Amino acid sequence: MGKSPLGVQVIARAAEVLRALEGCEQGLSLGQLAKQLGLPKSTVQRIVAALDQEKFVTASTPGAGVRLGPALVRIARSARFGLAELAHSSLEELAKRTGETVDLAIMDGTKAVFLDHIEGSHRLRAVSAIGISFPLHCSANGKAMLAALDDSALLKVRKAITLTKFTPHSICTWKQLDAELAKIRKAGVAFDLEEHTLGISAVGASLTGPDGEIAAISLPTPSVRFVSNKRELENALRDCRNALIEKFGSP
């Protein structure tokens, strides 16, 4: 980096700051950033000030540290639209085949954010919406994406995530969750058996998007219908996932 032109070096260091803030909902102090990046605090302060001016970060306040800013959210939405647009027709086919609601989500910090949503045709169906978020540890798409993370990325999430108990069936310890993630990696699909909402179960599967992002497709279903149709839903989801993998050319 020292041999790079000054402008390139500044951009590289700004990118390091942004990466360091990823997944840190409460933010980091200038001192924490400086220590983590191995840079002088004064250098970090100048970079943060420039990023704050462009709204790429939000400067520290008495109650919180430096955090990622709103301008990055707008940029991320633009990038994510490409994934949703490419996957949409396949999601529609999955919804038509099963009659169930289909959701496409991407990991955003410690949450799964829905990028696309196709309503099922059944009168009794699960309802969600584009833009809403679900916790990772107790949703089918969230657990599928957690299972797809490498060790370093999963460790970062572990430090930030809170295993909130939403229902009596929610996983609320890392021992339980680690065992669940091992099963998901082996099976290739994840299940939410009324872990987030009583009366709703789901099956989900992760895939890598065209830009390398980790995403997941899920079929949330009223539990009364999920039990009898579980194998059919799982097979339909696998077919959809495989078709998208072939379309994206991703592993």
- The verdict on 64 and 80 lying in the same domain is no
Given this model, what pLDDT does residue 74 score?
A: 67
Domain count, the chain: 2
- The verdict on 98 and 11 lying in the same domain is no
Amino acid in the structure at residue 77: R
- The verdict on 221 and 120 lying in the same domain is yes
Domain boundary among 17, 52, 68: 68
- The verdict on 190 and 122 lying in the same domain is yes
Amino acid in the structure at residue 14: A
pLDDT tens for 76-94 read: 655 555 788 889 999 999 9
Domain-located, residue 128: yes
Domain-located, residue 166: yes
- The verdict on 43 and 117 lying in the same domain is no
Strand pairing partners for 64? 61
Question: Is the predicted pLDDT of residue 2 greater than 50, yes or no?
Answer: no
Going by C-alpha positions, the residue among 150, 136, 152, 148 that lies closest to residue 196 is 136
- Beta-carbon neighbour count of residue 88 at 10 Å? 15
Question: Is the predicted pLDDT of residue 176 greater than 60, yes or no?
Answer: yes
Domain-located, residue 1: no
- The verdict on 215 and 236 lying in the same domain is yes
Domain-located, residue 216: yes
Rounded distance, CA 222 to CA 226, Å? 6
Domain boundary among 52, 68, 84: 68
- Beta-carbon neighbour count of residue 74 at 10 Å? 10
Given this model, what pLDDT does residue 5 score?
A: 61
Higher-confidence residue of 46 and 129: namely 46
- The verdict on 52 and 145 lying in the same domain is no
Rounded distance, CA 84 to CA 216, Å? 11
- The verdict on 92 and 205 lying in the same domain is yes
Parent domain of 89: 72-248
Pair of tokens at residue 65: 């540290």
- The verdict on 30 and 80 lying in the same domain is no
Q: How far is CA 131 from CA 73, 111, 141, in A?
A: 12, 11, 14
Rounded distance, CA 33 to CA 220, Å? 40
CATH number, domain with residue 152: 3.30.450.40
- The verdict on 173 and 55 lying in the same domain is no
Look at 129-133, 188-192, 236-240 and tell me which has the smallest mean pLDDT. 129-133
pLDDT band of 163, cuts 50, 70, 90: very high
- The verdict on 100 and 47 lying in the same domain is no
H or E segment at 13? Answer: helix 6-21
- The verdict on 116 and 194 lying in the same domain is yes
